[in-house]
Amino acid sequence: MSPRKALDAVTADIRSNHITADGTGLFNTTRHIGLLCHLAASMAADTEYQLAPNSADLPSAENLAASAGHLGRAIAHYAQALAPLLILTTTAQDTRQQKLDSLDHHHRLRGHLDDADRALAAARTVLAERTSSYAAPRPSRPAPCMTTPPAPAHDVQLRARR
């Protein structure tokens, strides 16, 4: 399977197994991390193989390496999504403050999942690029990280008092 087809298969699996604020979402998150780690390791191995002769059927080593970097960012965002997901799945939301905190955790979870999706899209874009022997390869730039930092605890407490 080509690296692009493998990435498409993993992305399709991720999109069909949603992250929800329950035990199933936690299972899916850890499963997604495992799939992405396997794909990143495979892409890194393909990068090394691409440097050897007779590997013309793979994307360029530069594109494979850049794509593996984007996959690493997706893995990091899924790992960062674990903390708010665990809090959402294990915390009872009885008080008004707990409900406000839950909204903050949901916002953080959604931000990490959206950033992971952007990193996967960037990895696919890099794999789709072809560098010819007549043109200099375009340097790949990582997509900007779009996460918003979590609100400081005192901001959440101020909102709760209002």
Non-local (6+) Cβ contacts of 84 within 8 A are 105, 106, 108, 109, 112
- What DSSP designation does 149 have? P
Lowest mean pLDDT among 5-19, 66-80, 92-106: 92-106
Residue 135 reports pLDDT greater than 60: no
pLDDT at 154 over 60: no
DSSP class of residue 148? Answer: P
Better pLDDT: 55 or 78: 78
Q: For the whole prediction, is pTM greater than 0.75?
A: no
What is the full DSSP assignment across 73-135? HHHHHHHHHHHHHHHHHH----SHHHHHHHHHHHHHHHHHHHHHHHHHHHHHHHHH----SSS
* Residue 22 φ/ψ region, left for φ over 0, alpha for ψ in the -120 to 50 degree band, beta for the rest: beta
- The tens digit of pLDDT for each residue in 93-111 reads 666 666 667 777 888 888 9
pLDDT tens digits, one per residue of 34-49: 999 999 999 888 887 7
pLDDT at 94: 67
